[in-house]
Amino acid sequence: MNSQAEHLLIHTDGAARGNPGPAGAAAVLYDGSGACVAEVFQYLGEATNNVAEYRGLLLGLKRAKEIGAGTVEIVTDSELLAKQWNGEYRVKNKTLRPLFDEAKEIAGAFESVEVRHVRRGGNAAADEAANRAIDERAGV
């Protein structure tokens, strides 16, 4: 792994039109220099916005693991996801719980995983990719 991939900044997002409705998820990964090293997006079919947000997180974590990142910083516009990840909220929803557990399991492959919430405007590239997944009915 090159030194640029040791730490990755990952913007993740999910989108659902109708909630539930046609949904997409995405992650855009940046190296230490700020260069985009990967973009992944996937059409999910019918899903809620919260499920799509978690699917975006999973896409990002899986790709970061494939790249060989040591540490990752996740940026999301989902306040719910960020607060659940950081232990401020419990994950009570039976549909979200397995997604949360899977993400935590993958996170164990990294030295550290930080998740922080930003306003929607601070997550434009991932938002665009999640919506493109719906528009194109695209897969990873």
Distance CA 114, CA 101 (A): 16
pLDDT of the residue at 127: 97
69-90: average pLDDT? 98
pLDDT digits (tens, 9 = 90+) for 20-34: 999 999 999 999 999
Q: How confident is the model at residue 139 (pLDDT cuts 50, 70, 90)?
A: low
Distance CA 112, CA 6 (A): 11
| Backbone phi and psi for residue 103, each to the nearest 5 degrees, phi listed first | -65, -45
pTM (2 d.p.): 0.95
Q: How confident is the model at residue 1 (pLDDT cuts 50, 70, 90)?
A: very low
Could you tell me the strand order of the sheet in which 36-47 lies? Answer: 36-47, 21-30, 7-16, 71-76, 112-117
Q: How confident is the model at residue 71 (pLDDT cuts 50, 70, 90)?
A: very high
pLDDT digits (tens, 9 = 90+) for 112-135: 999 999 999 999 999 999 999 999
How many helices (H) and strands (E) would you count in the chain? Answer: 4, 5
Q: Is the pLDDT of residue 140 over 80?
A: no
Which domains are present in the chain?
A: 3-136 (3.30.420.10)
